A and B are shown apart, each in its own frame.
Chain A
Amino acid sequence: MHNLGTVFRFEVTRTLKKRSFWIMSLFFPIAIAAIFGIVFFSNRATHEASEQVAKQSFSIAVTDTSHLVAPALLQAIHAKVVPDKQTGVHEVATGKVDAYFYYPADVSKQTIEVYAKDTGLFNNNRYQAVAQALLDQSVASTVSTQTKAILQNHVAFTTTTYKDGQVYNGFKQLIAPGVFLVLFYILITMFGNQMLTSTTEEKENRVIEMILTTIKARTLIIGKILSLIVLALIQIIVILIPIVILYLLIGDKLSLPNFDLTNIPLDPVRIAIGAVIFFLSFLLFTGLLVAIGAAMPTAKEASGFFGIVMILIFGPLYAVTLFISAPDSPLVTFLTFFPFTSPIPLLLRNAVGNLSVPEALLAIVILAVSASVVMAIAIRLFRYGALEYSKRLSLGSVFGVKRKRIQ
């Protein structure tokens, strides 16, 4: 393994020198910034436009058979009261008024009808907004401030939960162990394809014979995996820095939810379990992707299998509510302990706190054994598949008939 450092440095350095690495790394924060920017400017523009629309005055006729609209309000906006819908519609059609609102007798069952002069797709919204505002303000003026707050969903709640006699904040509890779930997701989605094709390069470039007679296959593969981990961490930092800067600069203007992230609880057992599951899951899937890459003659053919691996990893996300609400169900048990589907269920259940320590230990043993077997297969496939320049390698040919002929 004395060449491990050399392989690691070579792989990291050459990737960092690639423009595509930085384009990919910077694309994400730039895209986030662009989305933030669009949302920010769109909100501002909409707000300004709404204010402008609100300032615009237009003539209104109203028929209120519900008797909910306050006459004082109608008077204040100089609305014309007409006896029936037919008259009101006629007034609009002939241009005598800009808008006519018809309030039916029972607004909970019937539709409020708005007839108005067309002023463009965006500006036409103001008519309905005014019709709604007339109704809201009329009703609000008849009830107390508290009732008004309840009806408008303006009441605040705080919830304090207890577990084992102690105050327990479920959301804060899941943050620290949940980091491993997020990290695993990011690493696999961003670097999965690179793992898959990391060994096909040696094959496609016909450099494999020189490599296999210079270093051990195991050294090369472990060096590549370590380099991928470090590159992924670098990429995460590159992605996070601009996002954090952006948040610090204009975060308060983006109307983001305000989470109190102080005093995050650090449960050492759950964090340790999360770290071990993360590491073993990463090894397992790296091994699987490397094995597929080693068995395929080209990166293009290997990429065809990427989707299948992604379904195995992220498919369980569709059962996310089940992991939280019914952790003892047979499906959850299967997805938790079957090694190729286990990372997301294990990391998620560990984060939300419904993975017991014995369950975690059993899953860790299964993952460790699976990861070792898959890594051993990957190295073997690499050794025996490396010289198969033009065709796929089958497991049978590696483990049944070990020796393959080249020419």
Chain B
Amino acid sequence: MDTTALVSVDHFRMDFGDKTVISDLSFTIKKGETFGLLGSNGSGKTTTIRALLGIYQPTGGELLIAGKPYKVDGSVKLGYLPEERGLYKKELVLDVMVYFGELKGLTKSAATRWSLDYLNKVSLGDHAKTRLDKLSGGQQQKVQLGVTIMNNPELLILDEPTKGFDPVNRRLLMNIIEEHQKQGATVIFVTHQMEEVERLCDRIILLKDGTARAYGTVADVKKSFGGASLDDIFIKVYGDPVGQETF
């Protein structure tokens, strides 16, 4: 694994009006590793990703990808599956995939070829000329995943990727992540599903109230919490449902 930092977040602070969402956050993600950005709803995970991708302007600090603030026409090939998902619903599946492929730098023929191969692979070969809104929710998720990875991204950011996924798509997603891991891609996995984190991630950061409560390899984090499972660590940090600490 190449240990060069592909992503670095340094003293990141984010305020929305009077409210501070991220107070002081620093971490790095090495090239080629799968990194888990963990935390409960409202902990600042999505805000951090949006600031990293230039959608939000940070109040303070620096968020860099390959040493520079992210730009859409920069050198790093990005695949981003946002938490809020959707595509052009009134358009044909193939048209939308080819459009995004071209926007991501593929030629039209390459984007078409890749899209048709992918659709066949995920059993949607017969739906290339179907309007997106005629597909089921699960089928639309498959298309969205395809759009995310079609440029063979060096940095794959998946924000709550399993949210709303059925078991078939969840398996597909895991396969995709593993495939990209093997190809050397850097993966940022934003989630609160600890089971998947244990299976896929090399290192993690656990956020609460905009600060890091745990950071390191999965093994190191577990060790620092007395060998507990990630689920237990999560409950320890956030408190159990009845408000009693487990540890």
Specify whether A and B are partners. Answer: yes
> Which of B17, B21, B88, B103 contacts A3, CB < 8 Å?
B103
Q: How close is A13's CB to chain B, nearest CB, in angstroms?
A: 8
> Which of A2, A3, A7, A14 contacts B95, CB < 8 Å?
A14
Q: Is the CB of B103 within 8 A of A207?
A: no
Interface window among A168-176, A209-217, A311-319: A209-217
Check: A403 CB closer than 8 A to any chain B CB: yes
Q: Is the CB of B59 within 8 A of A201?
A: no
Q: Is the CB of B57 within 8 A of A403?
A: yes
Classify chain B's interface size.
Answer: 35 or more
Q: Is the CB of B87 within 8 A of A216?
A: no
Q: How close is B141's CB to chain A, nearest CB, in angstroms?
A: 13
Q: Is the CB of B16 within 8 A of A405?
A: yes
Using CB atoms, name the residue of chain B closest to A1. Answer: B73
> Which of B19, B73, B99 contacts A10, CB < 8 Å?
B99
Known: A209-B55, A210-B80, A213-B55. A403 touches B16 (CB 8 A): yes
Q: Is the CB of A405 within 8 A of B95?
A: no
- Interface of A, secondary structure class, is loop
Q: Is the CB of A210 within 8 A of B147?
A: yes
Q: Mark A199-221, 1 if CB is under 8 A from B, else 0.
A: 00100011101101111100000
Known: A6-B103, A201-B88, A403-B59. A209 touches B80 (CB 8 A): yes
Q: Is the CB of A214 within 8 A of B86?
A: no
> Which of A215, A216, A403, A407 contacts B14, CB < 8 Å?
A403
- Give Cα A214–Cα B87 distance, bound, in whole angstroms: 13
Check: A389 CB closer than 8 A to any chain B CB: yes
A164-200 at interface with B (beta carbon < 8 Å): none
Which residues of chain B are within 8 angstroms of A205 by Cβ–Cβ distance? 86-89
Q: Mark A2-27, 1 if CB is under 8 A from B, else 0.
A: 11001100100110000000000000
Known: A214-B103, A404-B16, A405-B47. A209 touches B82 (CB 8 A): yes
Q: Is the CB of B42 within 8 A of A407?
A: yes
Q: Is the CB of B17 within 8 A of A401?
A: yes
- Give Cα A180–Cα B86 distance, bound, in whole angstroms: 40
- Give Cα A3–Cα B102 distance, bound, in whole angstroms: 8
Check: A155 CB closer than 8 A to any chain B CB: no
Check: A300 CB closer than 8 A to any chain B CB: no
- Give Cα A13–Cα B94 distance, bound, in whole angstroms: 13
Check: A402 CB closer than 8 A to any chain B CB: yes
Q: Is the CB of A214 within 8 A of B100?
A: yes
Check: B53 CB closer than 8 A to any chain A CB: yes
Q: How close is A399's CB to chain B, nearest CB, in angstroms?
A: 13
Check: A387 CB closer than 8 A to any chain B CB: yes
Residue in A14, A205, A403, A404 whose Cβ sees the most chain B Cβ within 10 Å: A403
Known: A6-B102, A10-B99, A215-B103. A206 touches B85 (CB 8 A): yes
Which residues of chain A are within 8 angstroms of B82 by Cβ–Cβ distance? 206, 209-210, 213
Check: B142 CB closer than 8 A to any chain A CB: no
Q: Is the CB of B104 within 8 A of A214?
A: yes
What are some 15 contacts across the A-B interface (CB < 8 A)? A7-B103, A205-B87, A209-B50, A210-B148, A212-B55, A213-B55, A213-B72, A214-B103, A214-B104, A402-B57, A403-B14, A405-B21, A405-B47, A406-B47, A407-B41
Which 4 pairs across A and B sit closest by C-beta, in order of nearness?
A: A206-B86, A405-B16, A209-B82, A205-B86
Q: Given A7-B103, A403-B59, A405-B19, 4 other A-B contacts at CB below 8 A? A: A210-B80, A213-B54, A401-B17, A403-B14
